[in-house]
Structure 1
Amino acid sequence: MTMTLSSLIAAVAAVMVVAGLVMAVAGGIGWAPGPARRRSRLEQRLRASLGLGGTNPAQPTSWWARRSSRLGGALVLGLGVWLFSGWLMGGVVAAVIVAGLPWLLNSGSGAQEQIARLEAVEEWVRRLSDIHTVGVSLEQSIQRSLQTVPKPIAGEVTRLVSRLQAGWLPQDAYRGFADEMNDAICDEVAALLILHAEDRGAGLGRALNDLAAALSQEVLSRREVEADRQKPRTNDRWVTIFCLAIFAVSMMSGAYVEPYTTPMGQLVLVGLGIAFVLVKIWMRRMAVIEPSPRFLSSADRTPTEKEASR
């Protein structure tokens, strides 16, 4: 029995359809891997190669997570699809898919990065309370904390120290730090620093400890929320992989994709790609929770405060 290209495509498509149905049922009943399960070494390497296993979203963990490598691979694949299938727009769509793989598969990277930054703020505030002692000003304590500041907020704290050393008013420097963090809970940190800069009262160390405990609870709460939101994101990721695999298999079938080689077919293909992206955006917005409004926002300051902070 000879395996033809059409039968091979049909077999692969059937397997993918079954896998898609299984994932749809699993998503419908709310199944998800247990958070305490320890991943095997092979699974960790596979997730790293897909860009899903990095602890710091700002650091690429795969070749396509690096912009230059991803754009080069997108160009090569786009040309290959165009030459192999004769689809000009098919090559364009394939190149766009490769270039946008991190956006397509890592739907929760922004939230995870924000949680990591908030956890770093909690650690920095706790260290700041340990450094601050009687006879040492808050500004001196902040400068000393620069040696042990967590990496996710190293840039923000470095700029805060630079502003203080440049002669900025401490209140304006702390407001600038809050603007860079752009988080309501970080406004509480800046507000505490501003209040101490204005009255220089005692008990700052205890207040910083209490604030660090509150930040720790906030980090825990956000991680629990993100764990619940991870279930639909996982289903969305699998649906995306399934759709991309169908697109890749379809390119190998000449008779099936022949209508897309016409000018009208090219426009339909581009329209389908745009519709797919719009659906992805819609699904992401459904899982996005509006952040709490900030109370130290620069838009709420008086003109005098804005001019003094320049």
Structure 2
Amino acid sequence: MSLSYLSFLGMGAGAACAFGGAGLIAVARGWQPAASRSRGAGLRGRAARAVAELPSGWRDNYRLLLAAAGVAGAVTWAVTGWPVHGLLAAAIVAGLPFILHPGGSGRAEIARLEALAEWLQQLASVRAGGKPLEATIIALDTVPALLRREVGSLAGRLSSGVPARSAYRALADDLGDRVGDDIAQLFMDHVTSRGPGLARALAAQATLVARQAADLRDIDAERAKARSEARRVSLFAIAVVGAILLNGSYAAPFATPLGQLGLVALAALFVLALVWLRRMAEMDAEPRTLLPADQRRGSNGREGAVG
């Protein structure tokens, strides 16, 4: 019975070490966590979004933290002789930024809205001089850092001859939310009408987006106390677990195959509680007004099949 438990735990810990080794190889090859705002379902997409929502210092170096987590897990397993101890050490190191910065999605959204408002105001200022919108987007070199990827892609499409309407629709997919759809729709309406009031419309849209950012900042400030409490409780729990596992007499009940399984269950419950708290703090995204690219392709394919 004991041998069966140990075999099961050994396979799980071996898989964790394999992932850690893969992380080390990825680091050596220059891998970086995806910063895409894709709304795709699945654990991988949610993990990528969670990493992208971390403060820049953690986000930019998270690949190194994953490598450190793999090393910490392997060393802890080798020293204690128990695989779950190694798994817990790896999980604590990899999850540290999420514990120190719970509910990062709100702050990331605020910063992104502020960047959009700044970009729109820049476009309005240049457009007021009579320069065409497409030329303004291509020539503008003071794009906020948070939008350089999306705006750079848009400028590249316009420079390469992609029709303006298609380029703006692609921008909506790159931004991937209701605000991005509103901005893209404004641009596409201008392609159709070429009216003289674009500068005023851009400035009005910038004001609206800035107001949304300010409202979110007020909400985020009200939630700061709850996040601080969650951070303190989480760090205290980790400290207690560490003290227990490092103390021989206290750790004795967990130094058995059955104790290892119990430790896995307790750790899983702790992680689920943190995820649940994070989900409670997230605000539901407004529904998009423009169909994403994959849904448009599916719709066109069905129409073609019917025709």
* TM class by smaller structure: 0.7 to 0.9
Contact 1:129/1:206 (<8 A) preserved: yes
Q: 1:107, CA displacement in angstroms?
A: 1.9
Q: Which has the higher helix share?
A: 2
1:60 lines up with 2:54 in the alignment: no
Partner residue in 2 for 1:136: 131
Q: 1:149, CA displacement in angstroms?
A: 0.7
1:4-83 mapped onto 2 (5 Å cutoff): 57=54, 59-60=56-57, 66-83=61-78
Q: 1:90, CA displacement in angstroms?
A: 1.0
Partner residue in 2 for 1:127: 122
1:257 lines up with 2:251 in the alignment: yes
Contact 1:79/1:91 (<8 A) preserved: yes
Mean CA deviation greater in 65-74 or 291-300 = 65-74
Name the CA distance, whole Å, in 2 between partners of 1:279 and 1:301: 38
Partner residue in 2 for 1:105: 100
Name the CA distance, whole Å, in 2 between partners of 1:99 and 1:57: 13
Name the CA distance, whole Å, in 1 between partners of 2:228 and 2:291: 34
Instruction: Count residues with an aligned counterpart.
Output: 249
Name the CA distance, whole Å, in 2 between partners of 1:259 and 1:76: 26
1:139-154 mapped onto 2 (5 Å cutoff): 139-145=134-140, 147-154=141-148
Partner residue in 2 for 1:91: 86
Judged with a 3 Å threshold, the aligned counterparts in structure 2 of structure 1 residues 251 and 80 are, in CA distance, closer, same or farther, namely farther
Q: 1:231, CA displacement in angstroms?
A: 2.0
Unaligned runs of at least 5 residues, structure 1: 1-55
Unaligned runs of at least 5 residues, structure 2: 1-52
Q: 1:108, CA displacement in angstroms?
A: 2.2
SS in 1 for 2:246: coil
Judged with a 3 Å threshold, the aligned counterparts in structure 2 of structure 1 residues 262 and 57 are, in CA distance, closer, same or farther, namely closer
Judged with a 3 Å threshold, the aligned counterparts in structure 2 of structure 1 residues 175 and 68 are, in CA distance, closer, same or farther, namely closer
TM-score, length-scaled by structure 1: 0.73
**Percentage identity across paired residues of the two chains:** 37
Contact 1:184/1:294 (<8 A) preserved: yes
Partner residue in 1 for 2:229: 235
Q: 1:61, CA displacement in angstroms?
A: 5.2
Which of structure 1's runs of 4+ aligned residues deviate more than 4 A? 299-307
Name the CA distance, whole Å, in 2 between partners of 1:245 and 1:220: 37
Name the CA distance, whole Å, in 1 between partners of 2:143 and 2:281: 32
Name the CA distance, whole Å, in 1 between partners of 2:62 and 2:130: 49
Name the CA distance, whole Å, in 2 between partners of 1:186 and 1:305: 25
SS in 2 for 1:60: helix
TM-score, length-scaled by structure 2: 0.74
Partner residue in 1 for 2:215: 221
Name the CA distance, whole Å, in 2 between partners of 1:78 and 1:291: 37
Match for 2:203: what amino acid? N
Judged with a 3 Å threshold, the aligned counterparts in structure 2 of structure 1 residues 72 and 169 are, in CA distance, closer, same or farther, namely closer
Match for 2:269: what amino acid? A
Judged with a 3 Å threshold, the aligned counterparts in structure 2 of structure 1 residues 162 and 306 are, in CA distance, closer, same or farther, namely farther
Greater RCO (CA < 8 Å, at least 6 residues apart)? 1
What is the RMSD of the two structures over their aligned residues, measured on CA atoms? 2.5
Q: 1:88, CA displacement in angstroms?
A: 2.5
1:194 lines up with 2:211 in the alignment: no
Name the CA distance, whole Å, in 2 between partners of 1:105 and 1:141: 41
Contact 2:54/2:98 (<8 A) preserved: no
Contact 1:184/1:292 (<8 A) preserved: yes
Deviations 1:58-114 (A, max 9, x none): 52259xx72343234324433443344443211221112112212233222232222
Contact 2:76/2:85 (<8 A) preserved: yes
Q: 1:296 aligns with which of 290, 298, 303?
A: 290
